[in-house]
Amino acid sequence: MTKYKNSVRITKESVRKKYNKNVLDIYEIFELSGFENYPKIINYDDREIEYEYIEKKKIYEQIENEELIKTLANLHNKTSKYIEVSLNKYDNIKNIIENNLNYLNKYYNEMIENIENEYFMSPTSYLIARNFSSILIMINYSKEYLKKWFRKVENKTTERVSIIHNNVSLDHFIISNKNYFISFDGARVDTPILDLYKFYKKECLNINFPLLYDIYNKNFTLSEEEDLLFKTLICIPPKIERINNEFSDTINIGEIFKYINKTIKFINQK
């Protein structure tokens, strides 16, 4: 029986997806690096790529997350290398993050001023006002980590990069006879912390991230500057945008403050 999911054809024998030259290039790097945790290509032409089908075992989710992070560390370790970068690369990154933090600082200060001028606070306004200090804490943490990071890299002309999956999630991870990442369509060469950052942003409310971060570092140790940049990024508070639906806004804003509070707790543990 053939199943279709997002234009992907799935049978018990194989998975067929639209042709993507990037995947072929990434797989070539895997062959050279010795990374083996990916489904092999059976055949391909200029229209599609046929991959082996991997049967997924049912595993307790916490164990699955731990295996995912070990496999991610292995991916980064096997494919890592140092490359030359321009003298202004790190300065450009710093400026982009600084501009974003300054924008968010102004945005949130204007928001709280407007809220304080409300005659009767709405539930969402009260939620923001009650938790406003945590937003400022996050911005200040991010600024401090950014300063520490830049002091480490401002005179460097190299950067450690690896293959990053670029969409890490349990939906793209299979435990079978061994661990597999699937769906490398958006994979590229970049700093490994981007995989961690995106995984954290998506999943931090559902996982024990401090444990996973420790497991990752035992298998692939981040440098001090990588750790600082990761913390800089996760401490950038999400932007609260209300859609004038109190029920939906309360839920969405509540989730943002859960993220903020969990991040503050994680940072204070380290």
pLDDT in tens, 13-63: 899 999 999 999 999 999 999 999 999 999 999 999 999 999 999 889 899
The reply to whether 45 and 163 lie within a common domain is: yes
Report pLDDT for 200: 97
- Asked if 256 and 219 sit in the same domain, the reply is no
Residue 214 and residue 198 share a domain? yes
| Whether residue 161 sits in one domain with residue 66 | yes
pLDDT recorded at residue 199: 97
Query: Is the C-alpha dihedral spanning 252, 257, 259, 262 positive or negative?
Result: negative
Per the structure, the complete domain to which residue 150 belongs is given by 89-154+238-269
Q: What is the pTM of this model?
A: 0.93
Residues 71 and 165 in one domain: yes
Q: What are the residue ranges in the chain where pLDDT is below 50?
A: 1-2, 4
Residues 78 and 162 in one domain: yes
148 & 23 share domain: no
Which pLDDT does position 7 carry in this prediction? 72
pLDDT of residue 1: 44
Tally of domains in the chain: 2
Report the C-alpha gap between 232 and 226 in whole angstroms. Answer: 10
**243, 219: one domain:** no
pLDDT of 270 reads: 61
My answer on whether 167 and 217 are in the same domain is yes
- Both 263 and 220 in a single domain? no
Instruction: Specify whether 187 is located in the same domain as 101.
Output: no
Residues 93 and 80 in one domain: no
Phi then psi dihedrals of residue 198, to 5 deg: -70, -40
pLDDT of residue 75: 98
